[in-house]
A and B are shown apart, each in its own frame.
Chain A
């Protein structure tokens, strides 16, 4: 079990907490090779948190510690050493007890995940910002207005 305090360096999480974080990311979004989807562990969530969620480190560290402690109680192993199923069971208990548990991590994770090149391609997008290229758009069938025209004017006369 990791009770290592935050270290006073530019690393916001200790090595053991990083291992726990990676193990959580893998159960938030597991890989699915058939769809071309990596796991959240494989995308740059840690870097994203550094850039966008610096106010979150202390709470995250506390919750990762709680998760590891819970794993030890249930399986006598570190969270990071459990199988995917076992990790899901541990996380499920924690989230059932406290619905807000690691909720922000999940939000930041999906935010980072769906900007990853591999993920964007897998969901049918090009891995780039929308501008300047834009998109080819299907114009659609404007003859569908014909029944509307056939019913005649519907605006209210005022004169």
Chain B
């Protein structure tokens, strides 16, 4: 196909087919505009997911590892995260990192949008929980979210289907939280527990974090994309964008990208929407240099790449003297938000989420125990293994990370991807507030495990390989001097350029962000639709 025809001008060019790009594509499809999404990864074939193989536990450590620096797949770009105690996790494919997420789907709280007003730190968002509330609900309906209505830690909302199993593991922790008088709740989960929009209900395959071969986990490739494609959106895979281009008037004209064979193309567009999340988006914006924007596009504030928030993560593992069930979604049956809201007596501001997760399978149980020197050679091997396998419960601690300009994504001066595009470099450190919060969470986690009857607890945090949540690097705000995009996602500098992913977050909340990312993306898409007549004014 001739390049001119192949790259015929479109109305909307979306860069990135993950959680936010998919949601925006779905929402804008009803306008009838010509919409094209470019994605550097490919479709993932569910038949290739590790859980379809006998060595699923080890297979998940290779091509489905959370670090692109470990996977090194063609779609991946290397990330220099040596100057960060937390390594970056992502996945590059249609569906993005939702391919590997646990589908733990708690919403941000109303207070998360008002941290300056309430606690005197960071900044308030220019929008509120209640602005997003209809879009949380819309997103839940679109993708199918399981849960238990009535959570007293949030304003009332009703998940669209019954929750995933608590199992004896969840019951064990529920009784412990009740004994302590602490909040807990069956998690909202982006996993369908009944058939939904042509997808079959969860069968408790259990290895959600390396892809769901059944399609019951609501990753963007199986939830939003089939509907968006049917509505006319075009999706071009295995194409990596190098830069957003601008015309003499300072407006975006499209994007230059490389196809699967490394051939350079230019895709012209009336408007460009960036949806590459908190590391990929600033990388692209910073790489989009021109005489008009020598420091990268949309960067007159100098804040592109700054204020990176990663959610420092801790884990408490409890070992029990009796079996606890392993079967059910591995990372999403319940949470506790007892320590989510600020209490100054704790020695830090803001708070954290506790997420209960299941223990490992037999191979990873044995390998970890052997590595620790706990699983012996010889006759005692089986006795020790029996005391370890199917007897652990994990409690993850997701710490709210406050924005700091020194935590940032820049361009690495040497490292590039396979197309020669400069790679991102991460410079990040934990604040004293985060460290105190994490220590508090680890201590409370031990308390919860002991209340549950654990005979031993092991704590770790911050965990290095836990940089799943990439937020804050193109923040939204009303003031162009202190933000990159306005309150509805449009660049202050380039009026036909939008950002819709986690990089627009002003603060990070203390929970897994994907439901909020998708609610923000749907909100911005709604704003675009309402303003079509004068969108670029």
Contacts and interface: CB of A to CB of B under 8 A. Distances in A.
Interface of A: 27-30, 32, 35, 37, 52, 88, 91, 106-107, 110-111, 113-115, 119-120, 123-125, 128-142, 144-145, 147-149, 151-158
Contacts of B363: 110-111, 114-115
23 contacts: A32-B379, A111-B363, A111-B366, A115-B55, A119-B362, A130-B206, A130-B207, A131-B51, A139-B167, A140-B165, A141-B174, A142-B186, A144-B174, A148-B178, A154-B338, A155-B109, A155-B110, A155-B153, A155-B341, A156-B342, A157-B110, A158-B118, A158-B128
B165 A139 contact: yes
Contacts of A106: 370, 377
B186 A27 contact: no
B375 A35 contact: no
B183 interface: yes
A131 B52 contact: yes
Contacts of B118: 156, 158
A9 B206 CA distance: 42
Given A135-B204, A154-B337, A156-B118, A145 B186 contact: yes
B67 to A, nearest CB: 20
B26 interface: no
B367 A27 contact: no
A148 B213 contact: no
Contacts, number: 173
Contact of B203 (A32, A125, A133, A155): A133
A130 B152 contact: no
Contacts of A154: 152-153, 183, 337-338, 341
Given A138-B168, A155-B110, A158-B128, A148 B378 contact: no
A104 B155 CA distance: 52
A142 B109 contact: no
A111 B375 CA distance: 13
A17 B91 CA distance: 42
B441 interface: no
Given A129-B51, A129-B54, A135-B206, A155 B165 contact: no
B49 interface: yes
Given A137-B204, A138-B165, A144-B166, 4 more contacts: A27-B377, A32-B382, A134-B205, A148-B178
Contacts of B482: none
B327 interface: yes
Contacts of A91: 377
B53 interface: yes
Contacts of A123: 362, 385, 389-390
B6 interface: no
B150 A149 contact: yes
B213 A132 contact: yes
A28 B376 CA distance: 8
Contacts of A158: 110-111, 113-114, 117-118, 128-129
